[in-house]
Amino acid sequence: MIVGVHPLAGFDKLLHYRVPESLRGSVAVGTLVRVPIVNALKLGIVGEIGAPKDFPVERLKSLAQVVYPFPALPPDLLGLARWMARYYACGLDSIIETMIPVAVRRGAGLKQEKLLVLAQKLPSDELAALEKRAPQQARLYRFLEQQFRPQAKALVLARLGQTAAVVNALVKRGVLREESRRIERIAYADDHAAGELVAAQPHAPNAEQQAAMDAIAASLAEAKFGVSLLHGVTGSGKTEVYLRAIDAALKLGGGVVFLVPEVALTPQTVARLRSRLEAIAQGQRCVVWHSHLSEGERLDGWLALATGEARVVVGARSAVFAPVQNLKLIVVDEEHEPAYKQDETPRYHGRDVAVMRAKLAGAHALLGSATPSLESFTNVEAGKYRLLQLTQRVDARKLPYIDVVDLRIEAAKQRGLPALSGKLVRAMQDRLERREQTILFINRRGYSSSMLCRSCGHVEECTHCSIALTYHRTDETLRCHLCGDQKPAPARCPKCAAPDIRWKGLGTQRIEESVRRVVPRARIERMDTDTMAKKNRFREVLSAFRAGKIDVLVGTQMIGKGLDFPNVTLVGLIDADMSMHIPDFRANERTFQLLVQVAGRAGRGDRAGEVIVQTFTPQAEAIQFSRHADFAGFAASELKVRRDFHYPPYRHLIHHLFRGPNPDKLKFFAEQWAKLVEKTLGDRVELRGPSPSPIEKIKDEYRWQLWYFTTAVTKVVPELAKLRAEFAWPDDLTQVIDVDPVNLM
């Protein structure tokens, strides 16, 4: 028996090995093995059984070890890895490494724990005798007898200050038995904070929910690949639909992947989801998967899925690679979220990969959002996806009214740049009187973002990164958010020495201060990446807010996701322009999504909600369409622009970044390369650039970029990869290809 193995050893090749007699039974495609490479043993994944014809098999080395007696990559995942390598132009090894957690790759086994189990109950006379002859043994016996369940050996011995000899003696007598069990570390298992996102008890579905559930159940029963896009307004009960779909898939004996954006994985959500899912899965374990798991936790979850012990995983982006067996359903909640795109190699999009995995596994993909991505929406229009709609909020609650405040008028009235308009201030005071809560959203962190001189217009930039520095008030510094460089904030303009420099833009700290001035009695809390750096702080603030101990919550988008606070009746968006006037063709789409999602946070209880949006450009379409959450209207208008300018979803974009210490050399090679691509692929791609990147320098490295626009991405990317491999790049130049990039800055 010969197998081809993809080694995880820093290169991308298929190597062949002979399988010794004793291992033949446990080797299949997808098995994690150890193989000799040069003089060391390396991990690898079996990619094929057999060898090409006329292969010189005599000189082959032997496979050394099988790590697990089951495939580490089920066939659909191995197929997915191969597809990703082609589609995203990256090495198969880097993808396999992403798919298999570090602890698993190290070949870690199951963590065992010894339990002490009482094998028989001693009659009182025997116990009395034991008491005399061996008091330590009697003591151990009595301790165990008082416990409800078997106890961990290590804990018991530590607690009683005894040695293993005492245990051994009792085992010899037949009084005690030792058992092994796998240790399970359950993430968030001890968290009982109340959360309303997922009701503990299922709701009776309304007519629209029922229709959606029926459609999905029918697709699942067909047992073939398909995609549904669930477009449901905020508060329409999409989660309930997901849970019923999961229920249906499990009843058919299948496995399920449930993806949510990382930020939505708050302990409350996880606890609720988990208990509902475990109820649905009839006591089977639901694996939770996100970036804060310890290696041990991840290994446990991975093993439970790979061995079929658990069939449901809920997690962030990378959970799309969980080794779920017999996959029947993948749910992608908030499918429009940019966070699904990974911004380091391999640069994959979790939603797109989810759809491809569903295809390879013959499963159903259910994508859901209140503001679907235009990519998914055009797939509906093209007949590739089926559209399911929830047009009403549950219990026919009204969508909140969005009031747009024109900051140009406000600025004239209040003389200067106001953080809070008169309208927003009155609305907050009003909420305080009614004992209702307010959330204020702001788009960036810090006291204010950049420093602008009113006299000469100078903006202080990072000397390494050519981006504006951010003012941090707590320690009076200017900091670079890219390389971390910092220096004291100047009192006068460094360029013209004018004393009246001012801070442009509005950060969370400044909003917090303004709020303190206008509603001095209010209890205010700020929530952004700076204040939430401390572990558990996020949870604490959220539970305090939920418990009504906070009146006004000021924060970045991180408080917007997946949270449901019935007593919030006012939501303010401080600066809608922040996301709208950046050099990204998706800026309008992001702004529309932000507004609709933010508005969806208001009025989830019995009382109607009010949303106040402050902006210098109130006439913008993203703002106007969001006032009535008019997704169809927005999509129609925005898609016209996209078509006119050949942007996605009409064409694919590929970003090519070149970086290195010498800007002239970068320019030269980028231009040579562009010429070559033009000559070879010119009829299939449109090139834009090369040109310096928007951020020209990071950590003393210069950056140039080149854009490709194409309709034939699956053909063009492999050709680019091939050309790139043959091109004579200088040693000090690094280049990165990003297919379907999400962040254009």
483 binds, among ligand ADP, Zn ion, none (CB under 5 to 8 A by kind): Zn ion
| Nearest approach, Cβ of residue 695 and Zn ion (Å) | 9
Asked whether position 209 contacts ligand ADP by CB under 6 A, the answer is yes
Q: Which of 26, 206, 543, 624 binds ligand ADP (CB under 6 A)?
A: 206
Residue number with CB closer to Zn ion (480 or 666): 480
Stretch that binds Zn ion, among 358-366, 454-462, 550-558, 707-715 (CB under 5 A): 454-462
| Nearest approach, Cβ of residue 608 and ligand ADP (Å) | 16
On the question of a cis peptide bond just before residue 101, with omega within 30 degrees of 0, the verdict is no
Question: Can you say how many angstroms the Cα of residue 240 is from the centroid of all Cα atoms in its chain?
Answer: 21
Structure token pair of residue 499: 């004393």
CB atoms within 10 A of CB 19: 20
> What is the C-alpha to C-alpha distance for residues 259 and 287, in angstroms, rounded to an integer?
12
Touching Zn ion, residues 484-513 (CB under 5 A): 485
Residue number with CB closer to ligand ADP (47 or 368): 368
> What is the C-alpha to C-alpha distance for residues 742 and 745, in angstroms, rounded to an integer?
9
- How long a stretch of residues is the chain? 745
Binding mask 556-585 for ligand ADP (x = CB under 6 A): --------x---------------------
Asked whether position 695 contacts Zn ion by CB under 5 A, the answer is no
Using a 10 angstrom Cβ sphere, with 0-12 exposed, 13-18 middle and 19 or more buried, the burial of residue 662 is middle
464 binds, among ligand ADP, Zn ion, none (CB under 5 to 8 A by kind): Zn ion
> What is the C-alpha to C-alpha distance for residues 470 and 477, in angstroms, rounded to an integer?
8
Touching ligand ADP, residues 389-408 (CB under 6 A): 394-395
Cβ atoms of 315 and 289 within 8 Å: the answer is yes
> What is the C-alpha to C-alpha distance for residues 289 and 294, in angstroms, rounded to an integer?
10
Q: Which of 171, 483, 712, 744 binds Zn ion (CB under 5 A)?
A: 483
209 binds, among ligand ADP, Zn ion, none (CB under 5 to 8 A by kind): ligand ADP
480 binds, among ligand ADP, Zn ion, none (CB under 5 to 8 A by kind): Zn ion
If you search the block for the tokens 């899925």, which residue do you land on? Answer: 305
589 binds, among Zn ion, ligand ADP, none (CB under 5 to 8 A by kind): none
Touching ligand ADP, residues 222-261 (CB under 6 A): 232, 234-240
Residue number with CB closer to ligand ADP (261 or 505): 261
Asked whether position 197 contacts ligand ADP by CB under 6 A, the answer is yes
| Nearest approach, Cβ of residue 269 and ligand ADP (Å) | 10
Question: Any residues with CB less than 8 A from the CB of 2 and at least 6 apart, and which?
Answer: 16, 17, 18, 19, 49, 50, 51, 55, 57, 60
Residue number with CB closer to Zn ion (66 or 462): 462
Q: Which of 131, 184, 196, 530 binds ligand ADP (CB under 6 A)?
A: 196
On the question of a cis peptide bond just before residue 74, with omega within 30 degrees of 0, the verdict is no
Count of helices and strands (H, E) across the chain: 23, 30
> What is the C-alpha to C-alpha distance for residues 68 and 741, in angstroms, rounded to an integer?
36
Asked whether position 195 contacts ligand ADP by CB under 6 A, the answer is no
Residue 157: which H helix or E strand, with range?
helix 153-160
| Nearest approach, Cβ of residue 334 and ligand ADP (Å) | 9
| Nearest approach, Cβ of residue 392 and ligand ADP (Å) | 10
Asked whether position 462 contacts Zn ion by CB under 5 A, the answer is yes
Residue number with CB closer to Zn ion (144 or 480): 480
Q: Checking phi first, is residue 88 left (phi over 0); if not, alpha (psi -120 to 50) or beta?
A: alpha
| Nearest approach, Cβ of residue 331 and ligand ADP (Å) | 12
| Nearest approach, Cβ of residue 554 and Zn ion (Å) | 27
Residue number with CB closer to Zn ion (130 or 462): 462
- What is the sign of the dihedral through the CA atoms of 533, 535, 541 and 546? positive
Asked whether position 199 contacts ligand ADP by CB under 6 A, the answer is yes
> What is the C-alpha to C-alpha distance for residues 646 and 629, in angstroms, rounded to an integer?
26
Q: Which of 465, 511, 578, 620 binds Zn ion (CB under 5 A)?
A: 465
**Strands 450-453 and 65-66, bridge-based pairing:** unpaired
* Residue 469 backbone dihedrals phi, psi, to 5 degrees: -80, 155
Residue 401: which H helix or E strand, with range?
strand 401-406
If you search the block for the tokens 């290994």, which residue do you land on? Answer: 299
Residue number with CB closer to ligand ADP (604 or 697): 604
Amino acid at 127: L
505 binds, among Zn ion, ligand ADP, none (CB under 5 to 8 A by kind): none
Residue ranges in contact with Zn ion by CB under 5 A: 462, 464-465, 480, 482-483, 485
Residue ranges in contact with ligand ADP by CB under 6 A: 196-197, 199, 203-206, 209, 232, 234-240, 394-395, 564
